[in-house]
Chain A
Amino acid sequence: MALSVSEVLPGLGTATTRRQIWSIGGGKGGIGKSLLAASIGWQLARMGRRVVLVDADLGGANLHTCLGLPAPARTLGDFIQRRVESIEEVLTDTQAPGLRVISGAADLLSAANIKHLQKLRVMNQVRALDVDVVLIDLGAGTSYNILDFFLLSDVSILAIVPEPTSIENGYRFIKSALYRRLRAIAPTDDVRALLDSALDPKNPQGIRTPAELIGRVESEDAEAGRTLRREIAAFQPRFVVNEVRDTADVAIGHQLVAACGRHLGLRASYAGFVHHDDAVWRAVRKRRLFMSDAPTSRAAEEIRQLTRGLVKGESLGHGY
Chain B
Amino acid sequence: MATELPPNGTPTSGGQAPMRDDLYTVLGLEPRASSEQVERAYRFCLELYGEAAIATYSLLEPAEAEEQRARVREAYQVLSDEQKRQAYDSAQGFLPPDSPVLPFPSPALAPGAPELPETLTGAELRKIREARGVSLRHIASVTKIGMRFLEYLEEDRFAFLPAPVYLRGFLQEYARLVGIDPRRTADAYMSRLAPHS
Residue of B nearest to A304 (CB): B183
Count of A-B contacts with CB under 8 A?
123
Task: Give CA–CA (A305, B109) in the complex, Å.
Answer: 14
Confirm or deny: A16 has a beta carbon within 8 angstroms of a beta carbon on chain B: no
From A212, A255, A316, A317, B55 is in contact (CB under 8 Å) with A255
Q: Which residues of B contact A248 (CB under 8 A)?
A: 111
On whether the beta carbons of A255 and B58 are closer than 8 Å, the reply is no
Contacts of B55 in A (CB 8 A): 167, 252, 255-256, 258-259
| Binding site secondary structure of chain B | loop
The answer to whether A247 touches B113 (Cβ under 8 A) is yes
Does any Cβ of B come within 8 Å of A261's Cβ?
yes
How many residues of chain A are within 8 Å of chain B by beta carbon?
40
Query: Which one of B46-54, B118-126, B159-167 is at the A interface?
Result: B46-54
Band of interface residues on B: 35 or more
Residues in A with CB closer than 8 Å to B54 are: 162-164, 167, 252
Residue contact A262 to B106, C-beta cutoff 8 Å: no
Is A258 within 8 A of B28, CB to CB? yes
Q: Which of A148-156, A190-198, A263-271 makes up part of the contact surface?
A: A263-271
Give Cα A209–Cα B18 distance, bound, in whole angstroms.
14
Contacts of B57 in A (CB 8 A): 164
Complex: chain B residue closest to A255, CB-CB: B55
Interface membership of A123, Cβ < 8 A: no
Tell me if B9 counts as interface (CB < 8 A to partner A): yes
Q: How far is the CB of A269 from chain B (nearest CB, A)?
A: 9
Using a CB–CB cutoff of 8 Å, the interface residues on chain A facing chain B are 162-164, 167-168, 171, 208-209, 211-212, 215, 229, 247-248, 250-268, 301, 305, 316-320
Binding site for A on B (CB under 8 A): 1, 5-15, 18, 28, 44, 47-48, 53-60, 102-111, 113, 138-139, 142-143, 176-177, 179, 182-183
Q: What 11 new A-B contacts, CB under 8 Å, besides A251-B110, A320-B6? A: A171-B58, A215-B13, A250-B107, A250-B109, A252-B54, A261-B5, A262-B9, A263-B12, A263-B15, A318-B8, A318-B106
